[in-house]
Amino acid sequence: MDKIFFRRMQFYGYHGVYSEENKLGQRFYVDLELMLDLSVPAETDDLKRTVDYAKVYETVRELVEGRTYRLVEALAESIAQALLTNFPIEEVWVRVTKPDPPIPGHYDAVGVEIRRKRR
Protein backbone atom coordinates (compact mmCIF):
# COMPACT_ATOMS: atom_id res chain seq x y z
CA MET A 1 0.00 0.00 0.00
CA ASP A 2 1.27 3.46 -0.85
CA LYS A 3 1.44 6.21 1.73
CA ILE A 4 0.92 9.96 2.11
CA PHE A 5 2.42 11.28 5.31
CA PHE A 6 2.30 14.41 7.45
CA ARG A 7 5.03 14.99 10.02
CA ARG A 8 4.75 17.08 13.17
CA MET A 9 1.81 19.30 12.37
CA GLN A 10 1.60 21.78 15.24
CA PHE A 11 -1.59 23.02 16.86
CA TYR A 12 -2.72 24.72 20.04
CA GLY A 13 -5.55 22.95 21.81
CA TYR A 14 -7.39 22.66 25.11
CA HIS A 15 -7.33 18.92 25.79
CA GLY A 16 -6.73 17.18 29.08
CA VAL A 17 -8.26 15.91 32.28
CA TYR A 18 -7.05 18.84 34.39
CA SER A 19 -9.02 22.08 34.40
CA GLU A 20 -5.84 24.13 33.83
CA GLU A 21 -5.29 22.32 30.52
CA ASN A 22 -8.78 23.27 29.39
CA LYS A 23 -8.27 26.92 30.39
CA LEU A 24 -4.65 27.56 29.37
CA GLY A 25 -4.28 25.12 26.50
CA GLN A 26 -1.02 23.74 25.15
CA ARG A 27 0.82 22.59 22.04
CA PHE A 28 -0.02 19.32 20.33
CA TYR A 29 1.80 17.63 17.47
CA VAL A 30 0.03 15.34 15.03
CA ASP A 31 1.68 12.89 12.64
CA LEU A 32 -0.28 11.00 10.01
CA GLU A 33 0.19 8.21 7.52
CA LEU A 34 -2.60 7.75 4.99
CA MET A 35 -2.49 4.42 3.14
CA LEU A 36 -4.00 4.14 -0.32
CA ASP A 37 -3.15 3.20 -3.90
CA LEU A 38 -1.35 6.16 -5.49
CA SER A 39 -0.81 4.60 -8.93
CA VAL A 40 -3.72 6.41 -10.63
CA PRO A 41 -2.83 9.90 -9.37
CA ALA A 42 0.80 9.21 -10.20
CA GLU A 43 -0.15 8.30 -13.77
CA THR A 44 -2.72 11.08 -14.28
CA ASP A 45 -1.06 13.89 -12.29
CA ASP A 46 -4.58 14.87 -11.25
CA LEU A 47 -5.34 16.21 -7.76
CA LYS A 48 -8.93 15.00 -8.05
CA ARG A 49 -7.63 11.40 -8.12
CA THR A 50 -5.78 11.62 -4.79
CA VAL A 51 -5.99 13.19 -1.33
CA ASP A 52 -5.90 16.98 -1.08
CA TYR A 53 -3.23 17.66 1.55
CA ALA A 54 -4.67 21.07 2.42
CA LYS A 55 -8.07 19.54 3.17
CA VAL A 56 -6.49 16.87 5.38
CA TYR A 57 -4.60 19.55 7.32
CA GLU A 58 -7.77 21.60 7.75
CA THR A 59 -9.73 18.56 8.95
CA VAL A 60 -7.11 17.83 11.61
CA ARG A 61 -6.79 21.51 12.60
CA GLU A 62 -10.55 21.80 13.13
CA LEU A 63 -10.54 18.77 15.44
CA VAL A 64 -7.47 19.75 17.47
CA GLU A 65 -8.23 23.47 17.75
CA GLY A 66 -12.01 23.50 17.50
CA ARG A 67 -13.02 20.87 20.05
CA THR A 68 -11.99 19.82 23.53
CA TYR A 69 -11.20 16.25 24.55
CA ARG A 70 -10.23 14.93 27.94
CA LEU A 71 -8.02 12.21 26.44
CA VAL A 72 -5.58 12.32 23.54
CA GLU A 73 -6.87 8.82 22.78
CA ALA A 74 -10.28 10.33 21.98
CA LEU A 75 -8.70 13.08 19.89
CA ALA A 76 -6.67 10.55 17.89
CA GLU A 77 -9.75 8.41 17.29
CA SER A 78 -11.74 11.44 16.08
CA ILE A 79 -8.96 12.33 13.66
CA ALA A 80 -8.77 8.77 12.32
CA GLN A 81 -12.52 8.46 11.84
CA ALA A 82 -12.83 11.87 10.16
CA LEU A 83 -10.06 11.02 7.70
CA LEU A 84 -11.48 7.58 6.88
CA THR A 85 -14.92 9.09 6.38
CA ASN A 86 -13.93 12.08 4.26
CA PHE A 87 -11.00 10.87 2.14
CA PRO A 88 -10.40 7.92 -0.21
CA ILE A 89 -7.95 6.14 2.07
CA GLU A 90 -7.91 2.50 3.15
CA GLU A 91 -6.01 2.85 6.40
CA VAL A 92 -4.74 5.64 8.64
CA TRP A 93 -2.07 5.86 11.33
CA VAL A 94 -2.36 8.78 13.75
CA ARG A 95 0.11 9.91 16.40
CA VAL A 96 -0.90 12.68 18.81
CA THR A 97 1.96 14.02 20.92
CA LYS A 98 1.53 16.17 24.00
CA PRO A 99 4.99 17.70 24.57
CA ASP A 100 4.24 19.52 27.83
CA PRO A 101 1.70 17.54 29.89
CA PRO A 102 1.20 18.65 33.50
CA ILE A 103 2.63 15.50 35.05
CA PRO A 104 5.79 15.24 37.14
CA GLY A 105 8.88 13.62 35.76
CA HIS A 106 11.55 13.96 33.08
CA TYR A 107 10.59 13.04 29.50
CA ASP A 108 10.38 14.60 26.05
CA ALA A 109 6.67 14.05 25.51
CA VAL A 110 3.74 11.70 25.93
CA GLY A 111 1.15 10.64 23.40
CA VAL A 112 -0.70 7.92 21.60
CA GLU A 113 -0.54 6.14 18.27
CA ILE A 114 -3.50 4.40 16.65
CA ARG A 115 -4.06 2.62 13.35
CA ARG A 116 -7.52 2.23 11.85
CA LYS A 117 -8.74 0.58 8.64
CA ARG A 118 -11.76 1.25 6.51
CA ARG A 119 -14.52 -1.19 7.41
Domain boundaries, the chain: 2-117
Q: What is the largest CA-CA distance in the chain?
A: 52
Residues 2-117, CATH architecture: 2-Layer Sandwich (3.30)
pTM over 0.75: yes
- State pLDDT tens for residues 34-50: 999 999 999 999 999 99
Query: Exactly one of 3, 23, 48, 98 is catalytic; which is it?
Result: 98
For residue 11, the one-letter residue type is F
Look up 55 and say whether it is catalytic: no
Q: What is the pLDDT of residues 81-117, one digit of tens each?
A: 999 999 999 999 999 999 988 888 888 899 999 999 9
DSSP states of 25-44 = -EEEEEEEEEEE--HHHHHH
